[in-house]
Chains A and B, each alone.
Chain A
Amino acid sequence: MLVQEADQILQRALQENGPDTEVAFPNTAYYLPLVFGMTGREVQTLGDLVPVIEDAKRLLRPVPADRRWTPYLGETLDSGIATLLAEETIEAVRFIYGLEPQRVPGLELAGGTAFTSPDANGDGQAAGNGHLNGPIDDIQLRSWGIQLVDGRMPGFAAIVGAAKSNEVAVKIVRELQQRNILTFLAGNVNGRSIIHQLQEEGVEMGYDTYIVPFGLDTISAIYALGFAVRSALTFGGMKGGQAREILHYNKERVFAFVLALGEVDDLKYATAAGAINFGFPVVADTRIPQILPTGVTTYEHVISMPFNEIAAEDDLGRAEKLVQKCIEVRGVKVRVTEVPVPVAYGSAFEGERVRRADMRVEFGGKYSRAFEFLRMVDMDEAEDGKVEVIGPGFDEIEDGGAMDVGIVIEVAGREMQQDFEPVLERQVHYFVNAASGLQHIGQRDIAWIRISKAAAEKGFDLEHFGKILHARFHADFGAIVDKVQVKIYTDPAELEKWLETARDAYDFRNQRLADLTDERVDEFYSCTLCQSFAPNHVCVVSPQRLGLCGAYNWLDCKASYRINPTGPNQPIRKGNLIDAEKGYWEGPNEFVYQHSNQAIEEVTMYSIMENPMTACGCFECIAMVIPEGNGIMVVSREDPSMTPAGMTFSTLAGMAGGGLQSPGIMGHGKFYLLSPKFISADGGFKRVVWMSSFLKESMADELQEVAEREGDPDLIDKIADERDATTVEELLPVLEENEHPALTMPPIF
Chain B
Amino acid sequence: MLQRADSLGLDTAFTRAEQMAPCPIGANGQCCKVCFMGPCRVVKDGQTGVCGATIETITARNFARAVAAGAAAHSDHGRDMAFTLKAVAEGETQGYKIRDPFKLKKLARDLGISTEGREVGELASEVADVCIAQFGQQRGEVSMAERAPENRKKIWRELDIVPRGIDREVVDVLHRTHMGDDQDPEHILDQALKTSLSDGWGGSMIATDISDILFGTPAPLVSQANLGVLKDDEVNIVVHGHEPTLSEMILAAVSDPEIIAYAQEKGASGVSLAGICCTSNETLMRQGVPSAGNFLHQELAIMTGAVEAMIVDVQCIMQALPNLADKFHTEVITTSPKVKITGATHIQFDEHRALDIAKDIVRRAIDNFPNREETAIPDVVADLVPGFSHEYINYMLGGSFRASFRPLNDAIMSGRIRGVVADVGCNNPRATQDAAHNYLVRELLKNDILVVETGCGALASGKLGVMLGEAALEWAGPGLREVCEATGMPPVLHLGSCVDNTRILTVLTQMVEEGGLGDDISDIPAAGIAPEWMSEKALSIASYCAASGAYVIMGITNPVEGSELVTNILSAGWEQKLGGKIDFVVEPEEMVSQILEHIDKKRAALKLPEYAPKRFGQSGDWRMEDLVDGPLEERQAALYGAVSS
Interface residues of A (CB under 8 A from B): 38, 59, 64, 67-78, 80-81, 164, 243-244, 247-248, 262-263, 277, 285-296, 301, 304, 306-313
Contact = CB atoms under 8 A, between A and B. Distances in A.
Given A81-B400, A293-B482, 18 more contacts: A67-B470, A68-B222, A71-B220, A71-B396, A72-B487, A73-B397, A73-B486, A75-B399, A262-B639, A277-B399, A277-B401, A285-B640, A289-B485, A289-B623, A290-B619, A292-B618, A292-B619, A295-B406
A444 to B, nearest CB: 51
A275 B400 CA distance: 14
Contact of A74 (B400, B639, B644): B400
Interface stretch (B113-121, B181-189, B410-418, B553-561): B410-418
B645 A295 contact: no
Contacts of B468: 68
Contacts of B482: 292-293
Contacts of B395: 74
Contact of B396 (A73, A81, A164, A248): A73
B618 A295 contact: no
Contacts of B222: 68, 70
Contact of A293 (B396, B404, B483): B483
A59 B620 contact: no
Contacts of B637: 308
B220 A70 contact: yes
A81 B645 contact: no
A129 to B, nearest CB: 35
B623 A287 contact: yes
B631 interface: no
B327 interface: no
Nearest to A246: B401
B645 A311 contact: yes
Nearest to A314: B645
Contacts of B640: 164, 285-287, 306-309
B578 interface: no
A295 B405 CA distance: 8
A104 B201 CA distance: 65
Interface residues of B, number: 52
B642 interface: yes
Residue among B396, B488, B626, B644 with max Cβ neighbours from chain A (10 Å): B488
A244 B619 contact: no
B262 interface: no
B597 to A, nearest CB: 25
B639 A295 contact: no
B21 interface: no
Interface in B151-190: none
A71 B489 contact: yes
A78 B398 CA distance: 9
A285 B409 CA distance: 29
A68 B385 contact: yes
Contacts of B435: none
Q: Give the interface centre of B399, B409, B468, B620 by most chain A CB atoms within 10 Å.
A: B399
A307 B409 CA distance: 32
A308 B398 contact: no
Given A71-B220, A71-B469, A287-B638, A295 B401 contact: no
A247 B618 contact: no
A67 B399 CA distance: 21
Interface string B614-645: 00101111011011000000000111111111
Contacts of A312: 645
A248 B637 CA distance: 38
Contacts of A64: 488
B407 A293 contact: yes
Interface in B138-156: none
B466 to A, nearest CB: 13
The 7 closest A-B pairs by CB, nearest first: A295-B407, A306-B641, A77-B399, A309-B641, A72-B488, A70-B220, A73-B487
Given A73-B486, A306-B641, A311-B644, A289 B621 contact: yes
B383 A68 contact: yes
A293 B414 contact: yes
17 contacts: A67-B470, A69-B470, A69-B488, A70-B221, A73-B407, A74-B400, A76-B399, A287-B641, A289-B619, A292-B482, A293-B416, A293-B482, A295-B408, A296-B406, A308-B637, A308-B640, A308-B642
A247 B401 contact: yes
B402 interface: yes
Contacts of A72: 487-488
Contacts of B397: 73-74, 295-296
B399 A81 contact: yes
Contacts of B618: 290, 292
Contact of A69 (B402, B404, B469, B483): B469
Nearest to A302: B619
A68 B403 CA distance: 23
Count chain A CB atoms within 10 A of each CB in B220, B398, B408, B640 and give the residue with the most.
B640
A295 B619 CA distance: 15
Contacts of A80: 399
Interface string B457-487: 0000000000011100000000000110111
Interface in B353-373: none
B600 to A, nearest CB: 20
Contacts of B411: 293-295
B644 A277 contact: no
